[in-house]
Amino acid sequence: MALKKGIVYLVGAGPGDPELITVKAVRLLQNADAVVYDRLANPRILAHIPPAAQLYYAGKASSKHSLPQHRINALLVSLAKKGLRVVRLKGGDPFVFGRGGEEILELVKAKIPFQVVPGVTSAISVPAFAGVPVTHRGFTSGFAVFTGQEDPAKEDSSIAWDKISTGIGTLVFLMGVENLGNIVAALVRHGRPPETPCCLIQWGTLPRQKTVSATLATIVKDARAASISPPAILVVGEVVSLRRKLNWFEQQPLFGKRILVTLPAEDNSRLSQRLEQSGADCTALPLISIAALSDYRALDSAIRQIEDFHWVIFTSQNGVKFFKQRLIALNMDVRSLQGVKVASIGPKTKETVESLGLRNDVQPGNYTQEGLLKALKKAGVKGSNILIVRAQEARDVLPDGLAALGAHVRVIPAYKAVLRSERITDPGYLKDFDLVTFTSSSCVHGFFKVFSRRQIFSKKNRFRVASIGPVTSRTCEEYGLKVSIEAKEYTLDGLAAAVLKAYKG
């Protein structure tokens, strides 16, 4: 809803890692009417923006500007005059070579209200991710930050090269790759020793981070050999020598590994988060979506007669959630299940059950239908009336096994899993991934629906396959995929642990 008078929030998005954005910045994005964002703002940050918000790309690469600065200024003023909450999202910190001051002055001129939300600047965070503290009392108590895009040879340089070369311990040059040779030459010419340690850091704070350590005498040659290109920053000073001991980020077991995480569209990316904590570069690929049924008469009837059942069994969190929705729709609640025992297939399903205020009576140690069947056999179900709430399509191991034990079983679906219909036609989409993870058989089916067999089995691919458990592994193998990693505990945490163990080994 438009305000009587709009406002512009100048927001720093941080250096690249999507978790290095401030809480305040996230809140403003979640409530924005319009967002004008830069090239270096991580695309995953845009997921915080509501679908109805207007998006404007104003990215700038070297010599390639999608919008000139004066048009960006005019756009901010125009959007605010419409009464919108406008977020101007800029990489790093908006006041550190972000031209944030210029944009704010235009807002002041147009009498547009504004607020500034600082961001984590790459000048400090990127060196930290490369194991380089910009200050250390054993080396230097000061540092300075400069633009790397200014040519030291120009007569009206705003940088006092004769003073900074020897007067400041640590020098940080942002956007300094294309002008690297001139920067190095100017520093040496004005007294900085050629043997001074330095490093170039490309895509800092991201899993694709690449660092070249050298001296001023060799950095140009080494950077060229390593094909370093923008965005990258240059750090010069004795503190760079500490990288040998403090290089924590690039030493993580999954650093640089590109992992394709196949999952339901509603998944909260827990698996990606766990893998990324160990340095992985994860790409989420939603392959199935969870959808409501068109007809709930069968489930509603069972819920109305819930007192006739001795057991209710849930085989997924989704089953619990849709069961709860039907309780509410029928003007009932969990008190209706008084005296009914509950069984859950795994710990997350159990958590969801208990969040409703229900006690979970049985959960197997082996989180499969087979494991649950074994646990229920031990609990004794002969002669019991059992309601199984599950997906529309699922294996019948559990109901068949319970019937064989003498139980009276009703299987009623609460939701359905819909495979993604949109195909990915890029023939080389999979070639750069080191690993593909599957968290269910449905994801395997969806994978072969989204990609052709030619794409999947291309000789250019090098990915391994990780599976959440033996059932999913069997589905992979039926399609011809060799499973290299299988979780011992059939949960997302278990799968993450198995991947970590495999790469540590």
CATH number at residue 232: 3.30.950.10
Give the tens place of pLDDT for each residue, 30-56.
999 999 998 777 888 998 999 999 999
The CATH number given to whatever domain includes residue 403 is 3.40.50.10090
Domain-located, residue 2? no
Q: What is the pLDDT of residue 365?
A: 87
> Rounded CA gap, 430 and 247, in Å?
30
Residue 231 in contact with residue 40, Cβ under 8 Å?
A: yes
Domain-located, residue 58? yes
- Band of pLDDT at residue 473, cut at 50, 70 and 90: very high
Domain-located, residue 1? no
Domain-located, residue 55? yes
Domain-located, residue 110? yes
Mean pLDDT to the nearest integer, 126-148:
95
Pair (324, 264) in one structural domain: no
> Rounded CA gap, 53 and 167, in Å?
48
Q: What is the DSSP letter of 360?
A: P
What type of residue sits at position 356? L
Mean pLDDT to the nearest integer, 124-130:
97
Pair (312, 425) in one structural domain: no
Give the tens place of pLDDT for each residue, 342-401.
999 989 899 999 999 999 999 998 888 999 999 999 999 999 999 999 999 888 999 999
Q: Residue 480: which region, alpha, beta or left (left: phi > 0; alpha: psi -120 to 50)? A: left
> Rounded CA gap, 262 and 284, in Å?
6
Q: Single out the residue in 120, 141, 162 at which a domain terminates.
A: 120
Pair (414, 462) in one structural domain: no
Domain-located, residue 160? yes
Pair (464, 445) in one structural domain: yes
Pair (234, 286) in one structural domain: no
Give the tens place of pLDDT for each residue, 187-231.
999 999 999 999 999 999 999 999 999 999 999 999 999 999 999
Report how far Cα 75 is from the mean position of its chain's Cα atoms: 30
Pair (100, 133) in one structural domain: no
Pair (13, 109) in one structural domain: yes
Domain-located, residue 336? yes
Pair (452, 488) in one structural domain: yes
Element (H, E) at 485: strand 485-486
Pair (17, 108) in one structural domain: yes
Q: What's the domain count of the chain? A: 4
Q: What is the pTM of this model?
A: 0.81
Q: Single out the residue in 419, 436, 468 at which a domain terminates.
A: 419
Q: What is the pLDDT of residue 65?
A: 52
Residue 396 falls in the annotated catalytic set: no
Which residues are within 8 A (CB) of 410 and not within 5 positions of it... i.e. 6 or more apart? 302, 309, 385, 386, 387, 388
Pair (415, 425) in one structural domain: no
Q: Please name which of 348, 370, 363, 362 lies closest in space to residue 474, comparing C-alpha atoms.
A: 370
- In the set 175, 210, 281, 341, the catalytic residue is 175
Q: What is the pLDDT of residue 59?
A: 75
**pLDDT greater than 90 at residue 305:** yes
Query: Which residue segment(s) compose the domain that 71 sits in?
Result: 7-120
Pair (63, 105) in one structural domain: yes
> Rounded CA gap, 423 and 425, in Å?
6
Q: Single out the residue in 376, 393, 419 at which a domain terminates.
A: 419
Q: Are strands 210-215 and 197-202 parallel, antiparallel or unpaired?
A: antiparallel
Residue 1 falls in the annotated catalytic set: no
Residue 341 falls in the annotated catalytic set: no
Mean pLDDT to the nearest integer, 467-490:
95
Phi–psi pair at 429, nearest 5 degrees: -55, -40
Domain-located, residue 459? yes
Q: Residue 347: which region, alpha, beta or left (left: phi > 0; alpha: psi -120 to 50)? A: alpha
Mean pLDDT to the nearest integer, 252-256:
94
Q: What is the pLDDT of residue 264?
A: 84
Q: What is the pLDDT of residue 43?
A: 80
- In the set 33, 38, 93, 267, the catalytic residue is 38
Pair (365, 447) in one structural domain: no
Give the tens place of pLDDT for each residue, 87-123.
999 999 999 998 899 999 999 999 999 999 999 999 9
Residue identified by tokens 């895009």 is 149
Mean pLDDT to the nearest integer, 220-243:
96
